[in-house]
Amino acid sequence: MGKITDALKKAAEERMQKADDTLRIQEQDKIVIQKMEGSRIDSRLITYFDPKAVIAEQYKILTTNILSLNKAKPPKVIVVTSSVHSEGKTVTTLNLAVTMSQALNKPKILVIDADLRKGRMNKYLGVEAKEGLSDLLQGTVEMDKVLFKIDIENLTFMANGSIPENPAELLASDKMRRLIAGLRAQFDFVIIDTPPVIAVTDPGIVGAISDGVLLVVQAGRTQRGIVRRATELLQQAHAKVLGPVLTNIEYFLPEYIYRYL
């Protein structure tokens, strides 16, 4: 009877090891990334279509500010969230990623759609990526099935995947922690788009295992009290708030600035 028990235990351990190997990414491993053809990128990704536009310059300033927070050890895993819906967090995430990928040293960047409830990254990129983070964490797919590129060589994406019944539990799992730890070794920067923090606990969970959180705030819409509450929720989850990112700002630029740009 003891031999049967030992055999069953060994088989179970081998299954667990195989599942862990799906998530574990070592330095020497070569990640297989599929190329998405015929993507129709949303016009709001201005940094992709016009890197010299005035708005694109603002994303360059944002990138500089992030990297200047700690020049010796800049944040490598960055979470992007908002207080409530429709503040522009996904557009901000993608524009920031494109801007960072345009640096002279061509850093390897991964963007993860960790909004397992209503992720919209696929929509903005104009692609059909049905498998993603949720499927990876549930062990139904392997890493090479969830990573894809468009036409920016050093920029990789991971979609949100199928909608699970337990998104918060998946994001809080040991598998998610191991995944992020492995991705740190493979990419220079990992940018993670998450749902609004007041609506769900997901941003705080992911923020706690990241190097910092950017809080997107829509100017003229989001009230100060709501932003304050969002910040409190992130801090209570032990997530480091890097600062706010204001969207929907209208301001006057003198003519000489336009001539310079």
Rounded Cα gap, residues 129 and 122, in angstroms:
7
CA 212, 63, 86 angle in degrees (round to 5)? Answer: 70
What is the model's pTM? 0.84
Rounded Cα gap, residues 194 and 120, in angstroms:
10
Rounded Cα gap, residues 58 and 217, in angstroms:
15
Asked if the structure places residue 13 within a domain, the reply is: no
Per-residue pLDDT band at 5 (split at 50, 70, 90): low
Give the containing element (helix H, strand E) for 111.
strand 109-113
Tokens of 13: 């351990």
Kindly state the average pLDDT of the residues 9-29: 51
Per-residue pLDDT at 130: 87
Asked if the structure places residue 192 within a domain, the reply is: yes
Please report how many Cα atoms fall inside a 13 Å half-sphere around the Cα of residue 98, on the Cβ side.
Answer: 26
Asked if the structure places residue 227 within a domain, the reply is: yes
Longest CA–CA separation in the chain, Å: 86
Check: CB of residue 128 under 8 Å from CB of residue 122. yes
Question: For the chain, what is the domain count?
Answer: 1
Dihedral over alpha carbons 9, 11, 15, 16 (to 10 degrees): 20
Kindly state the average pLDDT of the residues 233-239: 97
Asked if the structure places residue 159 within a domain, the reply is: yes
Asked if the structure places residue 9 within a domain, the reply is: no
Per-residue pLDDT at 261: 36
Asked if the structure places residue 25 within a domain, the reply is: no
- Which domain covers residue 189, as residue numbers? 33-260
Q: For strands 241-247 and 109-113, give the pairing.
A: unpaired
Q: For strands 155-158 and 147-149, give the pairing.
A: antiparallel
Check: CB of residue 86 under 8 Å from CB of residue 218. yes
Asked if the structure places residue 144 within a domain, the reply is: yes
Percent of the chain with pLDDT over 90: 69
CATH number of the domain where residue 246 is located: 3.40.50.300
Q: Which amino acid is at 176?
A: M
